[in-house]
């Protein structure tokens, strides 16, 4: 479920929302480092600055979700989205997945505005990604049949490790991580799907998961080892970023 077996073209076709978000990550990063605009105009204009938000620049509640403080920050958050976003996009559909992702990030940034000093500045998609974790936890608690026991254990383990690292690592927006996780959990707990949605989603996800297991079984051991290494590196990088 969290091991990618698709080709690049297949990934874009199967997960258009995740692919678009990652493209925006990369594009905005390039715009902050290329000598097109003086003084990193995009970074200064789109980052989250509590004082400027209070003065009416409300777009800064959303735009920091797509901005990052450097290449490694952008790379590891994008890798985390590649690993954990596709399954949820498949379960929810592109529109609902984007809604959960953006609203989780918005909740994280509003909490940052309310609880951090006016001088506080922040960027990064970690709050939105923690929202995905929160949504997964809601699935595990209320819709256990959507995920296998093994995948549920992976998610819970990663959430526990992520929360521990949130409090141990310096320069982490703890508020965004916690409220992003909480926001995603609330969105997952709200019964806004009707019964037909449940049935269709379960059937579609079960068929998709079965096909993915068959696909993985045909992967070479080398490819599986490479993806395992990528997952470990991405998780460790994500846990040490803002």
Helix (H, G, I), strand (E, B) or coil at 68: coil
- Tokens 């003065």 locate to 55
Report the C-alpha gap between 26 and 173 in whole angstroms.
22
Query: DSSP letters of 125-190?
Result: SHHHHHHHHHHHHHHHHH-GGGS-HHHHHHHHHHHHHHHHHHHHSSS--HHHHHHHHHHHHHHHHS
Would you call 148 a catalytic residue per the annotation? Answer: no
Would you call 73 a catalytic residue per the annotation? Answer: no
Report the C-alpha gap between 209 and 148 in whole angstroms.
9
Report how far apart, in Å, the C-alpha atoms of 214 and of each of 145, 169, 185, 209, 219 are.
Answer: 20, 39, 31, 9, 9
The catalytic position among 25, 73, 122, 177 is: 177
Helices (H) and strands (E) in the chain, counts: 11, 2
Read off the tokens for 150: 């093994």
147: which residues sit within 8 A by CB, 6+ positions away?
1, 136, 139, 140, 155
The catalytic position among 104, 126, 162, 201 is: 126
Return the active site residues: 126, 177
């Amino acid at each position: 479920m969290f091991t990618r077996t698709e080709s690049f073209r297949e990934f874009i076709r199967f997960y258009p929302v995740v692919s678009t978000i990652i493209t925006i990550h990369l594009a905005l990063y390039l715009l902050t480092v290329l000598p097109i605009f003086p003084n990193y105009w995009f970074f200064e204009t789109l980052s989250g600055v509590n004082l400027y938000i209070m003065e009416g620049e409300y777009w800064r509640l959303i735009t920091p979700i797509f901005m990052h403080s450097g290449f490694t920050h952008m790379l590891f958050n994008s890798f985390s989205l590649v690993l954990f976003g596709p399954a949820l996009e498949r379960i929810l559909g592109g529109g609902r997945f984007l809604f959960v992702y953006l609203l989780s990030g918005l909740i994280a940034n509003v909490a940052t505005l309310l609880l951090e000093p006016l001088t506080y500045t922040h960027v990064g998609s970690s709050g939105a990604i923690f929202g995905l974790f929160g949504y997964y936890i809601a699935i595990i608690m209320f819709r256990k049949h959507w995920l296998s026991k093994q995948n549920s254990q992976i998610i819970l383990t990663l959430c526990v490790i992520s929360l521990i690292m949130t409090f141990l690592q310096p320069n982490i927006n703890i508020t965004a991580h916690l409220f992003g996780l909480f926001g995603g959990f609330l969105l997952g707990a709200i019964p806004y799907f009707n019964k037909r949605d449940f049935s269709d989603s379960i059937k579609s996800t079960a068929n998709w998961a079965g096909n993915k297991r068959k696909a993985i079984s045909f992967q070479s051991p080398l490819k599986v080892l490479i993806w395992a290494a990528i997952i470990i590196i991405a998780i460790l990088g994500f846990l040490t970023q803002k």
